[in-house]
Structure 1
Amino acid sequence: MEDRAMQDDENARTGNQVQGAASFSKFMTVLQSIADAPRGLDIGQLTKSVPFPRGTVYRLVAALVAEQLVVHHREDGTYRLGPRLLQLAAKTWESSDLRTVAREFLVSLRDATDEVVHLAVPSSNRMVYIDKIEGSNTVQMKTSIGGQVELHSTSVGKAWLSGLSDDRLNEVLGQLTLRRHTEKTYTDPDRLRKELIKSRERGYAFDDEENEPDIRCVGSPIFDRSGEPVGAISVSMPVYRHDPERHAKIASLVFKTAKDITAKLAVII
């Protein structure tokens, strides 16, 4: 009798674990669907993107909102990633090997340029800033640690893309929506591909007011020991502090810094 009771307890625990895992999987499916949508999803779009009944989606979203993992933007009815999730992600980035390895190099780059320096990594066909160091010169930019930007319109995104193999580059470009941010944003896939090949050949990418007006950025990719791009760094500056001579100097510094980080990663990771 005792053995049977123990077996029944074990079966109950196993059943609860399976049920719990299934519920967790549903939450993760909804969360991933929201994360993959740059502009968020309203409830109708979300219901179409996940294999659950509308009522289940409502309950899952309500629970995610209650835990601040998702926020509801009332102005357009969309759901997007919430502050708690970004806080949890920031904890991971703080202990990231790449962020730790790159930090001293980023500080040196900031000191050499006195401009804003960024470190970003790819996430769901976007780039996420995992570090940002300000220079003494003020630059009004829409960037922050944890912020996401698109691949095609930023120097970190274009730098990362330029580090991909041709096959992988074509695959990723086929998934992108080349949304226009300024008059200079690349919205034609063929023109963008040519620019990325040029970036690959010279070792750095250039954002010429393509993401924000009056802001120019120079970025270079960081590679792991297998030669895969794992992130990118950039220096950003206002147009009035950018000229051909300064461009050449900063491009050289960014390229060298990315190479130094790549070399350090190969030894440590």
Structure 2
Amino acid sequence: MKNESNNLIASPSIRNLQILELLGRQRRAMTPAEIIDELKLPKPTVHRLLAYLEEQGFLAKNIDGKSYLPGARFREMAIGAMHASLSSLPSRNVLIWLNQQIGETCNLAVPDNDAMIYVDRVETQWPLRIALHIGSRVPLHATAAGKVTLSLLSEEAFERYLLTGDKQSFTNKTIVDTTMLREEIELVRVRGFATDQEELVDGMIAVAVPVMDARRNFCATLSFHAPTQRLSLEQGLIHLENLRQAAEKLGKFI
């Protein structure tokens, strides 16, 4: 039995998973040397596994051409797992409770490279609503959820985003200037929440907070959005405490 266990631990499949787990846990690009040092695996083995994982789409080379990031298949798998976790009955009940407190559409979103993806939501009962369906992919710089994510990046990753990220203008209120966006994200770090005041869609406001898992790692955002005809940003901020309470409850189920 002991030999079977050792063979399992040493198998390429387990080593592939160890590499993916490490990159997911570190939440940053890693060089082969860093991976070798962390996992204590032979250099030729790590290079062979990295090449295979890149070929299969689970890893991708970073912009520097040397380090590795999660690839498209890894992100899809992670988002699917997160969706399954967040869509469980206890999590769904928290989202329903928040919707009942605020009366507006409430959303769960997770980071996906340079964007956010909505993985669950409870819609408002009002006939006037703004349609951002589950699976919608929205930018980081123009959404409350995205700004929360940017605020929790390392300084190095955030500066890299400022230099290379796609910062398209969607309305005349979208923040695309690098200096202004840096100031906005610093404010989010201080306050612990982010807002969107008609920056993605004219006539829509949103407020978002982070969802931290049981280990206090950032894993998702919780937000609500509403048309300005019904709710101003100032009125929306009245619900901030409910939003934070719901995020705390959600973190216990992840």
Could you say which TM-score interval applies, normalised by the shorter chain?
0.5 to 0.7
Q: Is the contact made by 1:116 and 1:132 (CA closer than 8 Å) also made in structure 2?
A: yes
Change in 2 beyond 3 A, CA 1:204/1:90: closer
| Equivalent position of 1:170 in the other structure | 159
Q: Is the contact made by 1:90 and 1:146 (CA closer than 8 Å) also made in structure 2?
A: no
Query: Unpaired runs of 5+ in structure 2?
Result: 1-50, 62-71
Q: Secondary structure at the match of 1:219?
A: strand
Q: How many residues align?
A: 193
Q: Distance in 2 between matches of 1:25 and 1:176?
A: 22
1:110 aligns to 2:99 (yes or no):
yes
Q: Distance in 1 between matches of 2:131 and 2:249?
A: 28
1:136 aligns to 2:125 (yes or no):
yes
1:98 aligns to 2:86 (yes or no):
yes
Per-residue displacement from partner, 1:55-102 (whole Å, max 9, x unpaired)? xxxxxxxxxxxxxxxxxxxxxxxxxx9xxxx9x99865552x234353
Q: Secondary structure at the match of 2:86?
A: helix
Letter of the 2:93 counterpart: E
1:258 aligns to 2:225 (yes or no):
no
- Aligned-pair identity in percent equals 28
Please report the RMSD computed on the Cα atoms of aligned residues, expressed in angstroms: 3.2
Q: 2:138 aligns with which of 149, 157, 168?
A: 149
Q: Distance in 2 between matches of 1:94 and 1:243?
A: 30
Q: Secondary structure at the match of 1:240?
A: coil
Change in 2 beyond 3 A, CA 1:255/1:90: closer
| Equivalent position of 2:33 in the other structure | none
- Measure how far apart 1:251 and its partner are: 2.3
Query: Unpaired runs of 5+ in structure 1?
Result: 1-21, 34-80
Q: 2:112 aligns with which of 120, 123, 134?
A: 123
Q: Which has the larger radius of gyration?
A: 1
Q: Secondary structure at the match of 1:174?
A: helix
Q: Distance in 1 between matches of 2:185 and 2:132?
A: 23
**TM-score, normalisation: structure 1:** 0.61
